Chains A and B, each alone.
Chain A
Amino acid sequence: MAVMTYREALNLALREEMRRDPDVFVIGEEVGLYEGAYKVTQGLLKEFGPKRIVDTPIAESGFTGVGIGAAMVGLRPVVEMMTFNFALLALDQIVNSAAKLNYMSGGQYNVPIVIRGPGGPAHQLAAQHSQSMEVYFYHVPGLKVVRPSTPMDAKGLLKSAIRDDNPVIFIESETLYNVKGEVSEDPDFLVPLGQAAVRREGTDVTVIAYMGMMYRAMEAAEELAKDGISVEIVDPRTLQPLDTETIIRSVRKTHRAVVVEAGAGFAGMGSEIATEITEEAFDDLDAPVARVTGAQAPMPYARSLERLKTPTKEKIADAIRQVCYANGSR
């Protein structure tokens, strides 16, 4: 174990996988000479050379297509999106080629590609650069979607994603790159896709949250513990496939659930998880499942408005009190 940042954990995962498997290569804007817009690929050009660390023009559709083609003939590309908002330019490649070729070729082609980069709201990045991009992808059959919240998961999940034979959308976060945590240095350490983690054990309510929202939920849980509300926090880690079993098991224990997501709530992850809970654990519920989501509006640039648009610790705590029927306390 070593303590390192989320950014360093991603870098280590890439380095280990490139050493292990000569078919792995990285392609994207500024990944080589500039060592990544967020320095995730630091030092990789020097170690692996320009054939495996490939700088591209500003052309997401083009270099994503190159990656998909390479994956079809047996390589294992890791495509970096400078931010995931730019993946919209490559949406046709991802949705219509990467996700569907295995199916449409009758299993003749795999597309073992990882498309990674930061997404979700950060700080004053405004409407076009603050989007929770996972919603565009987990709806598409054939794609796996990962959102790692901790340095340990960043490493273990990225390595699993690279080794997976399916296209994996791997969305990091600008706000988490500097988060430090314990990370395994074992090159065989993996976190399997499709397995949620219980981040905090509790008895009164289950909060399902990932990435920055998971950290805010942790803060809300600390505060509510003072009032005697015991919060359990489940981090799905992988949104597709979603580990509903862990979520349902927790809700069966606590009888209440709050789902948090940074993006707009309409038809979001919260809707999906709330439905799963209602279908699987209806008789165990003591309150309707509550959602805390971003407002149905573009992200404003102004800091004060940004705060209004996004789920905050206070909004999460309010929702938890509401499902615990404890509204009168503040």
Chain B
Amino acid sequence: MAVTKVVMPKLSEQMEAGKVIKWLKKEGDRVQSGDILAEVETDKADVEMEAFGSGVLRKILVSAGDKAPVGALIGVIAEEGDDINAVVAQAGGGAPSAAASSAGAKPAMADRPAAVPPQPKSEDHAERTPSPSKGPESPGIRRAQETVAQQPVVTEMAPRPQAPAAADGGRVKASPLARKIAAQSGVDLKLVHGSGPGGRIVRRDVEAAAAAPAAAAAPSAAAPSPALRPVTPTVTGPEYEDVALSTMRAAIAKRMPLSKAPVPHFYVTSEVAMDRAWELREELNGLEGQPKISVNDLVIRTCALTLLHHPGVNASFQGESIRVFHRVHMGIAVALEEGLITPVLRDAHAKTLAQIAVEARDLAERARQRKLRTQELSGATFSISNLGMFDVRDFSAIINPPEGAILAVGSVRKVPVVTDEGLGVGRRMAMTISCDHRVMDGAMGARFLQDVKRLLEEPLRLLV
């Protein structure tokens, strides 16, 4: 009865395209609304994608490993015998056809004749014997109604308003559930007609919109296949190769200039005597039953406590105002094979060293397994990037907007130091804060750093 389009969902604010990691259903499998269809890689995490309609997964248009823009058709759910050719053909703008992607990667639509939809054999029968319910009417409207017909109650009764819900003003009236489904299925609520009271968009409207061939063309240009050529050791091989961007690398490439160019960075560097902090950490880690504390855990706790006294550094530029945060949500940069990710340790100021150690390790581990939830990846008020494990003396980091500052931490090194008695050996750690000059000035950054240094040099304070 119903043809449901499976589209690349918009799973985060920044997401513009996603990669299908794998399909958990194959063509011909029966699916229920709510079943997990596939795993999708976004710029930040791997996410399971649900089916929003029931029937048979008739067609997979983007194979595992391929990318598609948000909103692009990547599969079709319909009953056996339903005609899905029109839907597949309409997909034109959005996704590579099954043929194209499995044939190994043409850069999408530009050179594909949009008018020639794939005609899989299995559909021939249905083609020749259309069910009597199928009229020649406009396929879009027809399909919208067919999808809704899964809930027979609803379909015939409600009159369909003429204008989209947003027509009479800026705000779109939609039920909370409709909003949630729209966000997950990539439907633009502004283009949906609401059938509820006062034009409210409700679930069935969104499902109908997701099932109907999109009125607005899906974003164009699918990504090229990331397949690499085999590396040949001979001198006759190619001089270079172009490696396709991973989703995460693409996101980093896009976001970093958005920080570095418009945000006026300035940098303040300081050096901390880490001898006492080092001893304290050794002593803590010698205690049985205690979680292992890393140097970075000490830095996180120190910064979190210090930020409470320097709210101006725990702040974000908002255009017309500066938002000063009263809680510290600490972004912790985690290096991954293919890039980096900054999970957020919430309310770091209110947590003990042990809590911070356990949570930071859990976040880092799940970041590496790409199992972080999207809400664990946003909302930081300040970030820390630590390259100490790579034996880096010091470096400066790029601010992660809308945060106002980030602290770059180097390794703890044994160095010769001048003491009252002469020359000795001490442990030193350099740290550099990058600050948004629109939010704060050099002295503010310096004072903050000074207090961080003091606290780390009197580390017993971290325990009280």
The answer to whether A and B come from one shared complex is yes
**Which A positions have Cβ atoms within 8 angstroms of B?**
204, 227-229, 255, 282-287, 324-329
Are the CB atoms of A204 and B153 closer together than 8 Å? yes
The listed residue (A282, A285, A286, A328) touching B157 by CB distance below 8 A is A328
Contacts of B156 in A (CB 8 A): 328
Least CB separation from B34: chain A residue: A253
The answer to whether A325 and B158 touch (CB under 8 A), given A204-B153, A255-B203, is: yes
Are the CB atoms of B202 and A283 closer together than 8 Å? no
CA distance A326 to B156 in the complex (A): 9
Count the B residues whose beta carbon is within 8 Å of the partner chain — how many? Answer: 20
CA distance A227 to B178 in the complex (A): 23
Are the CB atoms of A229 and B153 closer together than 8 Å? yes
Which residues of chain B in 151-187 are interfacial with respect to chain A, using CB atoms and an 8 Å cutoff? 151-154, 156-159, 175-180
Are the CB atoms of B151 and A325 closer together than 8 Å? no
CA distance A283 to B177 in the complex (A): 5
Least CB separation from B196: chain A residue: A325
The listed residue (B154, B176, B177, B179) touching A325 by CB distance below 8 A is B154
Which residues of chain B in 121-179 are interfacial with respect to chain A, using CB atoms and an 8 Å cutoff? 151-154, 156-159, 175-179
Contacts of B159 in A (CB 8 A): 328
Contacts of B154 in A (CB 8 A): 324-326
The answer to whether A255 and B177 touch (CB under 8 A), given A325-B196, A328-B158, is: yes
Least CB separation from B206: chain A residue: A286
Q: Does any Cβ of A come within 8 Å of B386's Cβ?
A: no
**Among B153, B195, B196, B203, which residue has the most Cβ atoms of chain A within 10 A?**
B153
Are the CB atoms of B180 and A326 closer together than 8 Å? no
- Interface of chain B, helix or strand or loop or mixed? helix
Given A286-B177, A328-B156, A328-B157, list of 5 further CB < 8 A pairs? A255-B203, A286-B176, A325-B157, A328-B158, A328-B159
Are the CB atoms of A325 and B178 closer together than 8 Å? no
Contacts of B44 in A (CB 8 A): none
Are the CB atoms of B178 and A286 closer together than 8 Å? yes
Contacts of B202 in A (CB 8 A): 286-287, 325
Contacts of A255 in B (CB 8 A): 177, 203
Contacts of A283 in B (CB 8 A): 176-177, 179-180
CA distance A229 to B179 in the complex (A): 23
Are the CB atoms of A325 and B152 closer together than 8 Å? no
**Which B positions have Cβ atoms within 8 angstroms of A?**
151-154, 156-159, 175-180, 195-197, 202-204
Count: A-B pairs, CB below 8 Å: 52
The listed residue (B151, B157, B196) touching A287 by CB distance below 8 A is B196
The minimal Cβ–Cβ distance linking A223 to chain B, given in whole angstroms, is 13
CA distance A328 to B157 in the complex (A): 5
The listed residue (B151, B158, B196, B197) touching A228 by CB distance below 8 A is B151
22 A-B Cβ contacts within 8 A?
A: A204-B153, A228-B152, A228-B153, A283-B179, A284-B177, A285-B176, A285-B177, A286-B175, A286-B177, A286-B203, A287-B175, A287-B196, A324-B153, A325-B154, A325-B158, A325-B196, A325-B202, A325-B204, A326-B154, A327-B158, A328-B158, A329-B153
Contacts of A327 in B (CB 8 A): 157-158
CA distance A283 to B178 in the complex (A): 9
CA distance A284 to B178 in the complex (A): 9
Contacts of B180 in A (CB 8 A): 283-284
**Among B158, B159, B177, which residue has the most Cβ atoms of chain A within 10 A?**
B177
Contacts of B196 in A (CB 8 A): 287, 325
CA distance A228 to B159 in the complex (A): 18
Are the CB atoms of A329 and B176 closer together than 8 Å? no
The minimal Cβ–Cβ distance linking B156 to chain A, given in whole angstroms, is 8
The answer to whether A326 and B153 touch (CB under 8 A), given A255-B203, A286-B203, A287-B196, is: yes
CA distance A282 to B180 in the complex (A): 11
The minimal Cβ–Cβ distance linking B147 to chain A, given in whole angstroms, is 15
CA distance A12 to B204 in the complex (A): 50
CA distance A228 to B158 in the complex (A): 15
Contacts of A227 in B (CB 8 A): 152-153
CA distance A328 to B195 in the complex (A): 12
Least CB separation from A284: chain B residue: B177
CA distance A329 to B152 in the complex (A): 12
Are the CB atoms of B176 and A284 closer together than 8 Å? yes
Contacts of A325 in B (CB 8 A): 154, 157-158, 195-197, 202, 204
Contacts of A286 in B (CB 8 A): 175-178, 202-203
The minimal Cβ–Cβ distance linking B173 to chain A, given in whole angstroms, is 12
The minimal Cβ–Cβ distance linking B248 to chain A, given in whole angstroms, is 28
The minimal Cβ–Cβ distance linking A122 to chain B, given in whole angstroms, is 34
CA distance A326 to B151 in the complex (A): 11
The minimal Cβ–Cβ distance linking B279 to chain A, given in whole angstroms, is 49
Contacts of B151 in A (CB 8 A): 204, 228
Contacts of B204 in A (CB 8 A): 325
The minimal Cβ–Cβ distance linking A284 to chain B, given in whole angstroms, is 6
The minimal Cβ–Cβ distance linking B189 to chain A, given in whole angstroms, is 14
CA distance A327 to B197 in the complex (A): 10
Contacts of B158 in A (CB 8 A): 325-328
Least CB separation from B204: chain A residue: A325
CA distance A287 to B179 in the complex (A): 12
Least CB separation from A285: chain B residue: B176
Contacts of A324 in B (CB 8 A): 153-154
Least CB separation from A322: chain B residue: B197
Contacts of B195 in A (CB 8 A): 325
Contacts of A228 in B (CB 8 A): 151-153
The listed residue (A229, A285, A329) touching B175 by CB distance below 8 A is A285
Contacts of B175 in A (CB 8 A): 285-287
CA distance A283 to B362 in the complex (A): 28
The minimal Cβ–Cβ distance linking B213 to chain A, given in whole angstroms, is 24
CA distance A255 to B195 in the complex (A): 16
CA distance A324 to B197 in the complex (A): 11
The minimal Cβ–Cβ distance linking A232 to chain B, given in whole angstroms, is 14
The minimal Cβ–Cβ distance linking B87 to chain A, given in whole angstroms, is 25
Least CB separation from A252: chain B residue: B177
Contacts of A204 in B (CB 8 A): 151, 153
**Among A285, A286, A328, A329, which residue has the most Cβ atoms of chain B within 10 A?**
A286
The listed residue (B157, B176, B177, B203) touching A326 by CB distance below 8 A is B157
**Among B154, B175, B180, B197, which residue has the most Cβ atoms of chain A within 10 A?**
B175
CA distance A327 to B196 in the complex (A): 10
Are the CB atoms of A329 and B157 closer together than 8 Å? yes
The minimal Cβ–Cβ distance linking A320 to chain B, given in whole angstroms, is 10
